[in-house]
Structure formats: C-alpha cells, structure tokens
Structure 1
Amino acid sequence: MNTLIDISAGTYRIDPARSVCRLVATHAFGLHPVTGTMAVSGGTVTVAEDPERSIASAELDAASFTTDDPRRDRDIRGRRFLNTADHPEIGFRSTRCRRVADGWQLIGVLAVRGGTCEVVLDLSPAEAAGDGFRLVARCAVDRVAAGVGAGRPVIGRTVRVELDIHAVPVRARTGHAMAG
C-alpha cells in the first residue's frame, strides 16, 4: 500500500496528547522483554506532492520514560543510561523517504544523549483519524550506537521502537498587522 499518497500533501503537527512511543528491550540472556513508554512531545510531518520528498521530525520527552518498575525507570532516566538531566529530549530528523516492496520507509538521524545514529523507520499505512491521520512507525535501534552503552553485559543491544503518531494539519496563520 502506498502509505504517503493517501495523506493529502501539506504540513502536519504531531499531537502529543494522542501520540506515544513504545520501546521493547530484551535481556542479553534471552529473559523476558522489558516494555516501556515515552511521551512524544512534538514534531512535524510534511507530506510532499512527490511522496519521496516527504520529511518528518519528532521529539520525545526522555524524562517520561516509564515501565512497570519505578526503580528501573529512575535508573534508565539517570546518568548511566539516558541522562535526562543533561539530555531531556530524544530527537529524530528524517533525511529521506523511500518506497519499498511493502510500503514506505523513513530514514533519518536519531539523537540520544548528545550522540547520533541512523535509523530506518518502517511506516504502516496511514489511517484517517478525525481531523488528521494516524501513522505507526517501527524500527530497531542499536542502543550502543545511539550512545546508550551502559548495561552491555545484561541488556541486549537492540531496542525495538514503535511510534504511534497522530498528526493534524497545520493551519495557515492569518492575522492583521497592527497599526503603529
């Protein structure tokens, strides 16, 4: 399915109230996975007339990381892992968009803890959602390449990430100049 062509060309704002990032990390020895969430604090999606020229950005609130274990959450948000005191935001900026056999991919740069790495997001087909659209993007992140090297002997390198994004059109601003 052609995910992007089904969305009208234009610029859309990611709605933080209806968007979320889900993460799954595994134990290095194959024990149960750890699932967490992180708030999406903002971003934009610009759908071009030529879908391959579309771009996107997203920001995550690193301090919002949460799982079912408050102690683990404090550790992950702390200096050894995300270091949210010094790096409160995780960012993504696309560099290109490409059609693949089963849909679309968005390639870009992920910024974590002051470092960067390339990631490839697989996009699900967009769905109409009230005043905009919903899109799910999935990728695997090598957390060590992304700058989160703590926990190497215990935590697997790959973190599966799923962004569940709701985006609404950016309305053109209208206004009147004030007479001076």
Structure 2
Amino acid sequence: MTTNTLTEVRTGTYRIEPARSVCRFTGTHIFGLKPVPGTMAVTGGTISVAADPERSIASAELDAASFTTDDPRRDRDVRGRRLLDVADHPEIGFRSTRCRRTGDGWQLAGVLAVRGGSCDVVLDLVSAEPVADGYRFVATCAVDRVAAGVTSGRLLIGRLVHVTLDIHATRTA
C-alpha cells in the first residue's frame, strides 16, 4: 500500500538505513538548458512519527563527497572548494522544524545545512509505504542552491536543484 498520509504510519522512532536509502537530484547545466541527474549517499538520520502527525520530526545526513553525476570532471568541480567544499564541509544535513497537512498531503519544513550555511526547505511527502521491517518514505523538494550558500558555479549548475529522497527506515522504538 502506498500512501501520502502520516496518519497511516505506525507511531514511533525509525532509523534511516543508509545502505537502502538514496538522495537523487536533478539540476541543470549549460545556462539551464540541459538536465543533469545525480545522486548522493544518505549516511543516517531518524524519523519520529508522533500520535499527532503534526508533531512528527525528522533528520537526515548526506555525504557531500558522494556527489555523483554522469561527468567525473563536473563531479570533482562540484565537490571542490568553489561549490560544496567537501574537504571542509563533508556533510549536508536536514533537521525538520514543522510537519503539516496540506490539501495535497504532508509537508515537512526544516533547515538544510550546506557548506557551513543553511536555508529553509519544504519537503513534500510523496509516499509512506510499509516494508517488512519499517517504512519506505519518498519526499521531494526544490533547493535554491544560492540560498543554501552555494553561490559559485552559475554556468556549472542552475540555481534550483530538484531533490528526491528515497528513504528506508526501520523502527527502533
């Protein structure tokens, strides 16, 4: 069963399973004309589903050095000092600040920490599907990379990056 409602998810705390989770993204290249898909590894996090779903919270961490597209040269440039600066900022993190129901489902607002800075983002919960040992959550958002502190590389990557988090989480409590 696929659902976009937290009310159908069993309450409790769930640990994100890095080996079964991934962050997919699509940016644009060449003045915003060419879509560039890629991935980043999810390294951990938790999801706490409350009896009142609007009190639910979540956090996730990504490995910035795992940034991968179809072009190794571009990947090195993006991981370098001008953009993600993974040597000094190896982790990208998300911490929720609010969960709310909308007419289209559930949203999780929070703070995205990138490269020593942060910006507000809103994740749209696409689905929460039960699996044998927990849930698979899929959420999407658009990240304004300039607001997130990644201001260089205008010709290398467009301003908006569309992100899909595909998260497998197992119940811990």
TM (normalized to structure 1)?
A: 0.91
Looking at structure 2, the residues matched to 20 and 155 of structure 1 have their Cα atoms a distance apart, in angstroms, of 21
CA contact (8 A) 1:103 1:125 kept: no
Secondary structure of 2:34's match? Answer: coil
Say whether 1:26 aligns with 2:32: no
Q: 1:2 to 1:40 in 2, by over 3 A?
A: closer
* Distance in 1 of aligned mates of 2:28 and 2:34: 7
- TM-score normalised per structure 2: 0.95
CA contact (8 A) 1:97 1:107 kept: yes
Q: Secondary structure at the match of 1:76?
A: helix
**1:155 CA drift (Å):** 2.7
1:38 matched to 2:40? The reply is yes
Identify the residue that residue 87 of structure 2 maps to in structure 1: 85
Q: Which residue of 1 aligns with 2:53?
A: 51
Distance 1:35 1:2 in 2: 25
Q: Deviation at 1:94?
A: 0.1
The share of aligned pairs that are identical, in percent, is 74
Aligned residues: 171
**Aligned twin of 1:176:** none
Q: 1:131 aligns with which of 109, 130, 133?
A: 133
Segments ≥4 residues shifted beyond 4 Å: none
Where 1:5 maps in the other structure, the secondary structure is helix
Question: Contact (CA 8 Å) 2:29, 2:155: kept in 1 or not?
Answer: no
Q: What does residue 99 of structure 1 align with?
A: 101
Give per-residue Cα distances to partners, 1:25-63, cap 9 Å, x unaligned: 113634211111000000000000000000000000000
Secondary structure of the corresponding residue to residue 87 of structure 2: coil
In 2, distance between residues paired with 1:170 and 1:79? 38
Q: Deviation per CA, 1:66-104: give whole Å up to 9, x if none.
A: 111111111111101100000000000000000000100
1:116-127 equivalent positions in 2, closer than 5 A: 116-127=118-129
| CA shift for structure 1 position 153 | 4.4
